[in-house]
Chain A
Amino acid sequence: MQANQVIFVVLRFMRRPILVLITVYAVSMVGWILIPGVDEAGEPQRLSFFHAFYFLTYTVTTTGFGELPNTFTEAQRMWGIVSLYAGVIAWFYALGSIVGLVQNREFQRSVAERSFAKRIARVSEPYFIVCGFGNTGALLTRGLSEAGKTVVIIDRNPERISTAMMRDYPSEVMGLCADARVPEHLIEAGILKANCKAVVALTQDEEVNLKIAVTARLLNAGIWAVTQSTSAAHEDTLSTLGANVHIVDPFQTYAKYLGATIKNPKIHTLNQWLAGTPEASLDDTLSLPRGEWILCGFGRMGRWIRDALEAESIATTVIEPDPGPEAKRLENLVEGRASQETLIKAGAKTAVGVVAGTNNDSDNLSILLNARALNSDIFFVVRQNKYRNQVVFRAGKADLIMMPSMVSARRILFLLIAPLLKTFFETLRERDAAEADYIDTVIARLQERVGGTRPRLWTVEIDQHSAAAVAKLSRAGHDVSLAHLISDPVDPGRQLACLPLVLRRGADQSTTVLPKLDSAVASGDQILFCGRPRAYRLLEATMNNEYALIYIMTGQEVTRSVVLRWLAQRFPRLETAGG
């Protein structure tokens, strides 16, 4: 939409009413000039143009001061009737046209688009486009907003957009009611702007998501396209699009996660805590039993879970009412709906865990109740498909609740705001396999330095834009280390409640998990921090305030004034005298 198209729409629309008004005024005024009148003395006198215009002004706007400047003759009164009605009708016509225009949907849409485009143009921070404001989209938007990021939501459903706009987000969230499949709408949402970091396609239809990802990739090769997909065909297409396209499969993600949790339950503790789950603390423990597991449902979720459990050499029995060719090949298959009978057949009395992973919430809940009646110690992983069933699932007290939209939203959120977290967990798992209790030492360290619940995760890039002071000092040859960064600028002897989790070198792209605090940082480095919100604010301040950073590094306040600096150079004695 052109910059000032709205004003042209108004002008074109108002052309006829304004012409009518001018004509009515002109004809009436000519009439007033021509019709003879009399003055106070009874001498013939006509109205001047000025008086004619004055009379029209106060009558057609229905004010009415009377007959001015002199009492009218009968002929003038007749013309008065004509000009008054004509004028009032012309005014009603003009006002009615304006009201009609304002109520016109197309007009409202173009005004809304215009104001949206203005807001987009004003955004100078990095921002993200989320297409589809369903469960996953809403959770992701909430997460991004809490991390202080600007978000643009695109959804076809106007109700969803207005719901999103009613919510109270801590950062700027803009809504565009449009079809994200249309490239123009992505452009309107600002996909071509340099500070647009990623497009996330989360509509219900995976075909649509694929299309959005392809469009985004073609329009702007520099941004990330993130999408959710649970089918292999789509994933194949998407993976050919290049490095900046990321596909998130909630079931695969969850299965991997479950596998890692079985290996070491502390992974779960750490993940819940880092994700900011309310009330999740680092002291939480969960123990997943090793033994036989029962998988109810062998669909998109069941397959991945089975693979993950097999990889941990855990035996599984599958209960599936409608087994496909792949399921039929399984050794331990119980055909039928998950009921008391089939559960017993699958060995529920001796099994240690059950995964209720069908795509029907009431089935999953009934599996939970049935299995618990048979074996009260059984470990429960249950899939919750619909967000609105939250209360029931809470009441069911399963050990782990898997909500696909939550899994996707969390995964995408980490990908966008803390891409180094993946490296962190991967390294953690590798080290844990080699070195006993490694994860426990990491947790103990986090507990000591950060602690509490709901920590903040943030990524710092050492560059001119987001860490001006650090970039400047390191270019000048000073060694700025991580220990300097995390010192409390108020009292440099103390450290802020935060911990650098991963350091990625800009020079050679190498990553270090839990880097040593004396490592020097340089321009181009990326650091993932975890800490309390206060630490986040102070760290941001230190990195951008040269004087604070120098004070931390040397313990000295730098003279800020040029004149005083010159004086100090000239008369070194003054400085020592001054302290």
Chain B
Amino acid sequence: MNLERVIFGFFIVLAVALNFGFFVGEIDNPDHHGIVELFLAIVVNLIATVLKLGDRSQIGAVLLATSLVADLQLLAAAVIWAIAAHVDSAGLTPAVMASIVSLAGGALVANIISVTILVAETLMLRR
């Protein structure tokens, strides 16, 4: 057992878990999607990205790429949320909520790929 691998796996799985938690629910219902969850998903995703930096293997490069995609999607969702809540007078309408959640859904796909690669690599190494 390797502490570094534990931390690494923890953050990657936590990222997908939080992302999923934010994503589930009716797509345009603001009551089903908490901002705290989005915030935590972003923070954990960023940490996961930084942990993947510096790995020069081929798999490391793909892992980093999936993380960057997830970051981009989630940050875009957060920016839309901030604009809807603070700038636009209409507020958080169901249409805006739907676009935020669909962005988070895209991030979820990237995160699932990331976890799949992680599992595949672990199985391949078998140690």
Question: Chain B interface: which of A10-18, A244-252, A438-446, A555-563?
Answer: A10-18
Assess whether A33 is in contact with B51, with CB atoms less than 8 Å apart.
Answer: no
CB distance from B35 to the nearest CB of A (A): 6
**Residues of B close to A8: CB separation below 8 A:** 54, 56
**Residues of A close to B46: CB separation below 8 A:** 22
B113 in the interface, Cβ–Cβ < 8 Å?
no
Chain A contributes a number of interface residues (CB within 8 A of B) equal to: 18
Assess whether B51 is in contact with A15, with CB atoms less than 8 Å apart.
Answer: yes
**Residues of A close to B56: CB separation below 8 A:** 8
CB distance from A110 to the nearest CB of B (A): 14
What 0/1 pattern do residues 8 to 33 of A give for CB contact below 8 A with B? 10011011001100110110011001
B65 in the interface, Cβ–Cβ < 8 Å?
no
Assess whether B36 is in contact with A33, with CB atoms less than 8 Å apart.
Answer: yes
A65 in the interface, Cβ–Cβ < 8 Å?
no
Contact of B54 among A15, A22, A25 (CB under 8 A): A15
What 0/1 pattern do residues 35 to 63 of A give for CB contact below 8 A with B? 00000000000001111000000000000
Take A11-B54, A15-B53, A15-B54 as given contacts and tell me if A26 and B85 are in contact as well, using a CB distance cutoff of 8 Å: no
CB distance from B107 to the nearest CB of A (A): 17
Q: How far is the CA of A18 from the CA of B67 in the complex (A)?
A: 15
Assess whether A49 is in contact with B39, with CB atoms less than 8 Å apart.
Answer: yes
Q: How far is the CA of A8 from the CA of B86 in the complex (A)?
A: 39
Q: How far is the CA of A26 from the CA of B11 in the complex (A)?
A: 15
**Residues of A close to B86: CB separation below 8 A:** 48, 50-51
B59 in the interface, Cβ–Cβ < 8 Å?
no
CB distance from B15 to the nearest CB of A (A): 13
Take A19-B47, A26-B43 as given contacts and tell me if A14 and B82 are in contact as well, using a CB distance cutoff of 8 Å: no
What 0/1 pattern do residues 68 to 94 of B give for CB contact below 8 A with A? 000000000010011001100000000
Q: How far is the CA of A25 from the CA of B39 in the complex (A)?
A: 11
What 0/1 pattern do residues 42 to 62 of B give for CB contact below 8 A with A? 010011001101101000000
**Residues of A close to B82: CB separation below 8 A:** 49-50
CB distance from A70 to the nearest CB of B (A): 14
Contact of B50 among A22, A29, A33, A50 (CB under 8 A): A22
Q: How far is the CA of A12 from the CA of B60 in the complex (A)?
A: 13
**Residues of A close to B35: CB separation below 8 A:** 48-49
**Residues of B close to A25: CB separation below 8 A:** 43
**Residues of B close to A19: CB separation below 8 A:** 47, 50-51
Most buried by A among B35, B36, B53, B78: B53
Q: Which residue of A lies closest to B39 (CB)?
A: A49
Contact of B53 among A14, A26, A33 (CB under 8 A): A14
**Residues of A close to B50: CB separation below 8 A:** 15, 18-19, 22
Q: How far is the CA of A8 from the CA of B64 in the complex (A)?
A: 12
What 0/1 pattern do residues 427 to 452 of A give for CB contact below 8 A with B? 00000000000000000000000000
Assess whether B47 is in contact with A22, with CB atoms less than 8 Å apart.
Answer: yes
Assess whether B85 is in contact with A11, with CB atoms less than 8 Å apart.
Answer: no
Residues of A at under 8 Å CB distance from B? 8, 11-12, 14-15, 18-19, 22-23, 25-26, 29-30, 33, 48-51
> Could you jot down 11 A-B contacts, CB within 8 Å?
A12-B53, A15-B50, A15-B53, A19-B47, A19-B50, A22-B46, A26-B39, A29-B39, A49-B82, A50-B82, A50-B86
* Extra inter-chain contacts (10) besides given A23-B47, A30-B39, A50-B82, CB under 8 Å: A8-B56, A15-B50, A15-B51, A15-B53, A18-B50, A22-B46, A22-B50, A25-B43, A48-B86, A49-B35
Report the 4 A-B pairs with minimum CB-CB distance, sorted nearest first: A12-B54, A26-B43, A50-B82, A11-B53
